Amino acid sequence: MESRHLRIASLLERLSRLIANDGKHRRLKPVQWEVLRYLSRANRFSRTPTALTTFLGSTKGTVSQTLITLERNGWLAKRRGVEDKRSVSLELTAAGRELLDEDPLEGLQRAASHLDGDQQAVLEIALQRILEERLVATAGKTFGICRTCRFFEAHSPDGDPHRCALLKVSLGVPDAAQICAEHTP
Ligand code: SF4
CA of 52 to the centre of ligand 1 (A): 16
> Given the CA of residue 149, which atom of ligand 1 is nearest to it?
2
HSE-up of 159 (CA within 13 Å, CB side)?
Answer: 0
Residue whose Cα lies nearest atom 5 of ligand 1: it is 164
What's the whole-model pTM score?
0.88
**Contact 163 CB / ligand 1 (< 6 Å):** no
pLDDT digits (tens, 9 = 90+) for 93-147: 999 999 999 888 888 999 999 999 999 999 999 999 999 899 889 888 999 999 9
CA of 149 to the centre of ligand 1 (A): 6
Angle, CA 139 vertex, CA 135 and CA 144 arms, to 5°: 45
